[in-house]
Amino acid sequence: MGNRLEVTEQSARETGVRLASTARAVLGERVAGVAAIEGSALYLLDRVVSQAEAELLTRSLVDPATQTAHWSTVTAETALQPGTVEVVLRAGVTDPVGAAFEQAAAMVGMAPVRVRSGQRYRVGAESPTDLAAGRYAIEALLRNEIVDELFATTVAQARFTTAPDDVTVEIIPVRSLDAVALHGLSRTRGLALDPEELVALQDYFRSIDRDPTDAELETIAQTWSEHCSHKTFRAAITWDDGTQVVPLLKQLRDSTDTIAASFVRSAFVDNAGIIAFDDRFDVAIKVETHNHPSAVEPFGGANTGVGGVIRDVLGVAADPIATTDILCFGPLDTPADTLPAGVLHPFRVRQGVVAGVADYGNKLGLPTVAGAVVHHDGFTANPLVFCGCIGLRPAGLQLEGQQPGHRIIAIGGATGRDGIRGATFSSTTMDATTGDVAGASVQIGDPIIEKLVADVLVVARDARLFSAITDCGAGGFSSAIGELAAELGADVDLDTAPRKYAGLAPWEVWLSEAQERMVLAVPSGHVAALRSICTDHGVEMCDLGSFRNDGQLIVRCVGSTIVDLPGSFLHDGRPQRQMVASHPTAPEPYGGRNDDAIVANAAQILLAVLAHSDVRSNEDIVRGYDHEIMGATISRPYQGAADDGPADAAVLAPVRSTSGRGLTIGIGVGYRTGDIDAYRMACASIDEAVRNAVCVGADPDQIALLDNFSWGDPRRPETLGKLVQAVRGCVDGAAQFQAPFVSGKDSLNNEYETAAGTCRSIPPTLVITALAIVPDALRTVSSDAKQAGNRIVLVGGHGVDLRGSVLDSVLGIDGPGSVPGASVDAAARYRAVHQAMRSGLVRAAHDVSDGGLLSCVAEMCIGGRLGARLNLVDGSLPNGVVAALFGETSGRIVLEVEPSDCDAVLALTGGEVIGSFEHEAHVVVTLSQGPVLDVGLADLLHAWRGHVVFGGFA
């Protein structure tokens, strides 16, 4: 028996009404009678506290101005009132809130107390049927069975992991297994190994005349996983006609080597790519995916995705300064009864992912400065979460590198049963059982610990206390230590590793992906100094062993040797995957376009385009993130007269730099056209990312790129063919702009197998991130229109490409024509635009992308609260009026230019004047025969941001 504390916000009723409204919109008639779902925070203590202790805790944890506290003592038999449901984290799931409560109790002098956190929900409804409907809404939208226990009849109980230590080291008999049994072993243990890899593993252990331990088998599986070894991108691929394909990763690396940009400091060899910034600093950048975990547990998956990519930047000894996120969800109006078994509703996924992203970076004091949000049916079962981080490190920093005898030091969080087999889990197709078998793959982060770890690393780096560093990501210690020891070997003793709780098997300690841990190589003479820094910052540190000089990885735990493997086999023993790609066949368009009808209804179609989920404002998400922490954000995600116009890219001026330079992050997201032409999609994505950066003032000759591929099962030849096409598009796009790739990530097997055995794959999705230098951070250009009378200049010509456009999505067709691809002279054009900006000739700039020219101009008007008048000559439109208004052809930018500067800008850029901004709050389009569109600014605003609701759920 123990105490419980319930903390209720004064706004709980208002929030509960909004939540019920959202539940009705998402779940339909089944919850029509639910008027409110009010929540309050719940803390379950493992003992009864005194009144004095309760008063101390209340003063420490509860804000009397906005919250009320209620203490109670209950037993396991205490019944809940009808319509009350309690949700508490399961035993063993990382609970940062509970841990913070325990720390607060210790700080006020209380005896030790263990705490589990949760939520208590009260359903506002009258009939028993509606009360039950409220419980259904809570289970569907607010509870995840993998990490939460639900109590609906009796009060929640705090359950803590109390299992005794597990010292078992299992020997797995593989030498005697036939092919069928080997496959069964792989499937049963979730190894995700190919048949050829299983044979190579078996042959190795036959050669040394013994069977592997469980830890060795799991170590090999995670090291050889798609997630860690990128075996598709390293595969030997042939087209189905026998033509050889250069391995995909080699193509990307060779592209960077060929470009040979002088500003690249490190590409593809470290945890993050690194480029030069100024005389004092280099810049590190990495973008990671956390797709499978976010599908299973949205908050934890996204949360630890952010934490993991921040650790990638810490893993190159850089100081994180900002984060990015690109999020892909299913449609929010998806009927709940159409979801496959085991799939969370897109609203539940989006709610958890958005909260998980916000919870991590901002708590570390990092602004979230760039990103995108898209919705598509293909992401319903497989949401995509791309998390990025940018960091600074001293210019020219060189670490000595690990040497024999250097100590293997781990700092940060303790090890628990979280993230077990995460690398192999992320390398498989999901199905209805994924939640059951992958529960241990779920990770919950603790950003406060990561902040302390980051602070330790800065001090230790500047004192030159470590010789090498990496993060504990996929595979945990097995990956981090295994990679650092790949050539030297290592002696590791896991007994010194701190545990969150007892009961972990040795292989689980070795493989756990528990968060907030970094591994360092430290010369023996520096260990004491590092320990002192860790103590000062309240960070745990453990000495796990030392590096050898014979290449052998030896791991011991509880007196047993659990791993004894040569690095040569672990890292080079995997057979190269042999794959066949077939040339994709573009699907035939299934719908035509009635151009006359589109022109006749252009006003209504423009409003529908602005309201489309790929175009509309994402303020309801972005305003929940702090994009100004650290005070370095010059250009923000929203700008203009009312600070609600869309920016093309954020600009940062790092506060420790004195060069006056800025950084910008442009993003290109391709997914709507990948099934039609993956090559052109890749070219267009690079163009969009570069174009976004150029629009805010970036130097087009100082841009580095990152690629993130999220694809279906590459073992399907046509799916692989699209991936090969996309990589070729990336290589050609990088060459066009002379913008080298410095890092990348592939996330494959993003598919969901239904109970009927059919697979639902995501559309081929490519995210390109452009990291660029802005020569003068104080002379950036924004997208909002500035002044009536200024000219609207279109650079790059009129639209041609309509297939895969937002227009087609709005019309519900797949119309004819081409999809956007490369614009052959875009690089020279962007240099000209940049020169015009540097000369002070450009008042505003906005890229023409989703929704086409009309959408672009409308967004500029929204930002500046001005109108616009466009005058188009029918005969000069190469593919007609509809393509001119809504086409998404690459390489185009709209500029706002003062009349006196027009001739100079046109001479530089080759653009054309197509209209002017006006005081009258309307967007008007006139063709040769007269006006074809006249839409008021109020209607444009309502379409673009009318869905936005703050302080609750949209």
CB contact at 8 A, 90 and 18? no
Where do runs of H (alpha helix) occur along 12-124? 12-27, 51-61, 96-107
Position of tokens 């602070």?
455
φ, ψ of residue 712 to 5 degrees: the values are: -85, -150
Joined tokens for residue 87:
């949700």
Joined tokens for residue 432:
């209805």
CB contact at 8 A, 851 and 688? no
CA angle 8, 11, 14 (to 5 degrees): 125
Q: Which residues pair with 470 in a beta bridge?
A: 519
Closest by alpha carbon to 657, among 168, 952, 282? 282
CA angle 755, 757, 762 (to 5 degrees): 95
Where do runs of H (alpha helix) occur along 276-362? 291-296, 298-314, 346-361
Q: Which amino acid is at 826?
A: A
Instruction: Confirm whether 375 is a catalytic residue.
Output: no
For 41, half-sphere exposure in the C-beta direction (CA atoms, 13 angstrom radius) is 17
SS3 label, residue 237: strand
Q: Distance between CA atoms of 921 and 940, rounded to whole angstroms? A: 10
Which one of 70, 290, 627, 919 is the catalytic residue? 290
Q: Distance between CA atoms of 819 and 77, rounded to whole angstroms? A: 63
Q: Which amino acid is at 931?
A: P
Joined tokens for residue 169:
């080291």
First to last CA, the chain: 40
CB contact at 8 A, 413 and 514? yes
Q: Distance between CA atoms of 424 and 420, rounded to whole angstroms? A: 9
Position of tokens 């302080």?
951
Q: Distance between CA atoms of 406 and 427, rounded to whole angstroms? A: 33
Which one of 70, 183, 227, 537 is the catalytic residue? 227
DSSP string computed for 408-456: EEEEESPB-SSSTTHHHHTTS-EETTHHHHTGGG-----HHHHHHHHHH
Closest by alpha carbon to 707, among 226, 326, 378? 326
Residue 65 CB contacts under 8 Å (≥ 6 apart), including other chains: none
For 250, half-sphere exposure in the C-beta direction (CA atoms, 13 angstrom radius) is 9
Q: Distance between CA atoms of 703 and 735, rounded to whole angstroms? A: 12
- Cα distances from 774 to residues 570, 576, 664, 780, in angstroms, run 43, 42, 7, 8
Residue 86 CB contacts under 8 Å (≥ 6 apart), including other chains: 42, 80, 118, 119, 120, 121, 150, 151, 152, 155, 156
φ, ψ of residue 866 to 5 degrees: the values are: -125, 165
SS3 label, residue 228: helix
DSSP string computed for 645-686: EEPSSEEE--TT--S--EEEEEEEEE-SSTTT-HHHHHHHHH
SS3 label, residue 926: strand
Instruction: Confirm whether 227 is a catalytic residue.
Output: yes
Q: Distance between CA atoms of 700 and 834, rounded to whole angstroms? A: 7
Q: Which amino acid is at 53?
A: E
Q: Which residues pair with 507 in a beta bridge?
A: none
Joined tokens for residue 203:
């042959």
Compute the CA torsion angle 155, 160, 164, 170 (nearest 10 deg).
100
CB contact at 8 A, 432 and 344? no
Active site residues: 227, 290
